[in-house]
Amino acid sequence: MAGPQLRTGAELHALVERLYPICRSITGDGVRQTLDIIGEHIPLDRHEVPTGTAVLDWTIPQEWNIRDAYVAAPSGERVIDFQELNLHVVGYSVPVRQRMPLSELREHLHTLPDQPSWVPYRTSYYAPAWGFCLAQEKLGALPDGDYDVVIDSTLADGSLTYAEHVVPGRVTDEVIVSCHVCHPSLANDNLAGIAVAVSLAQQLASAQPHYTYRFLFMPGTIGSITWLARNASRIDKVRHGLVLACAGDPGSLTYKKSRRDDAEIDRVMQHVLRSREHRVVDFSPYGYDERQFCSPGFNLGVGSLTRTPYAGYPEYHTSADNPGFVSPAAMEDTLGALLEAFAVLDRNRRYVNLSPYGEPQLGKRGLYDSLGGRSDAKQAQMAMLWVLNLSDGSHSLLDIAERAGLPFDIVDVAARALHDAGLVKE
C-alpha cells in the first residue's frame, strides 16, 4: 500500500525535520528507527547481516547502541548532554562511567576552534575509543575540578541493517539509487538525500518506468560493500546508478562522473544539468559510496549527485548542518533534476532508419503537417532529419540530441513520430 506522498519541498523538509533527532550510526537501533519512518512512505525489504560476517575484504562489526551520555561539572550540572544533541558523543564510543579531572577529560574532548559555537561530528567505528564533542566556547568556560563522565552504550554482537525498495520497470535491467543512513543529526549529509530519494521512488512508480529502479538505504562504506558482496552474482543487472547525498544545501548542483568517465549516466546527467546552474567533476576514489560501486572489480556506471560536495561547505559534519541549513527549494531542485535525468535515461533508445537510401519524403506521410502551429516547428523538423540521418543502430537519441544541439525531448518526440510513420524501428 502506498504511503504518504512527498511532492513539495515543504513535505521533503518535514521528513528531514522528523528524522533529524535520531542517533544513527553504521549499525544499531537508530538505523532501524530511520528505516521504520522511511517505510511509512515506501515499502522496504530489510536485511540484517550478523556481526562477524565477511563482506569482501571487510567484516561486519559489532552493533552499537546508546541510551544516554553526559559530562557533569563539579557542581553536578550536565555541561555536555547527549539528550540535547546526539553529536555530543563520538560515534561508537565504548561504555564509560568515571570521575576524572578536567585535565584528563580534555584528552577526550573535540571542538572546532575556527567555528567556536559549533559542535563537530566525530566517530571511531573500528578502534575502541570514547569521546565527547562540544563547542569551543563552552570548553573554554569549563571550570577546573573533577567531572563525572557517563556513556551508557553497548557494543555487542548484533547485525548491520540496510533496506531496499524496488520500483518495477518494463525490463529487469536496473538503475540503483543509493543514500547513506549512518549519520546522526546532520540534515544535509544525508537526511535531505533520503527525503529526495523517497519522493523520487514514489514518483517513478507513478510513471511506470522502462528500467527497474532499486533504491538502497545503507550505512556508508560498509553498507555498500555489504550490498555488493551479497549481490555480486547479479551485479550484471545494474546498468546505471547514482549515489545521492547533500541534496538540500544552497549550493548549485554538482555531478561527479563515474570511473568509466563516459558511462551513459554521466552523459545523461551532463545533458540535463546544462539548463541548471551546476558543475561537473571527474571521478576520484574518495567521497561517498560511488567509490565502492566504481571499484575496479565492479566498475559500474555509477556517478554521484550532490549540491555542494562533501567537505565543501563550512557546516559539513557539524551541528550547523541542521534543518535550518537545508531548504525546501533546494531539495525540490535536486528532485527535479533527477526526475528529468531518469526520464531521459528511460527513453534513450537506438533506432534504425528503414529508408536509409536518400531522404524519405516526410510530407506525403503527414509529418510536416503535424508540425503546423508548433512554436518549435523548425527545431522539430531538424530533429526528424537528424534522427533519420543518425539512426543506424549505433547512435542513441542522446547521441543525436548532443550532436544536433537540440533538446532531448524534441528528438524523442521526432523519433516516436518517425516510428509511428514506419520510417524507423528500435
Q: Which residues are annotated as a binding site?
A: 183, 189, 317
Composition of the chain by helix, strand, coil, percent to 5: 35, 25, 40
Q: Which three cell numbers stand for residue 10?
A: 515543504
Residue numbers belonging to the annotated binding site for Zn(2+)? 183, 189, 317
- For 254, the 3-state DSSP assignment is strand
Q: Within 47-135, where are the H helices?
A: 102-105
- How many angstroms separate the CA atoms of 407 and 401, rounded? 6
- How many angstroms separate the CA atoms of 409 and 387, rounded? 13
- CB neighbourhood size of 126 (10 A): 12
Phi then psi dihedrals of residue 106, to 5 deg: -55, -30
Please check whether residue 411 is in contact with residue 401, taking contact to mean a CB–CB distance below 8 angstroms: yes
Please check whether residue 331 is in contact with residue 133, taking contact to mean a CB–CB distance below 8 angstroms: no
Burial 346-384 (b: 16+ CB within 10 A, else e): bbbbbbebeeeeeebebeebebeebbeeeeeeebbbbbb
Radius of gyration of the chain (CA): 25
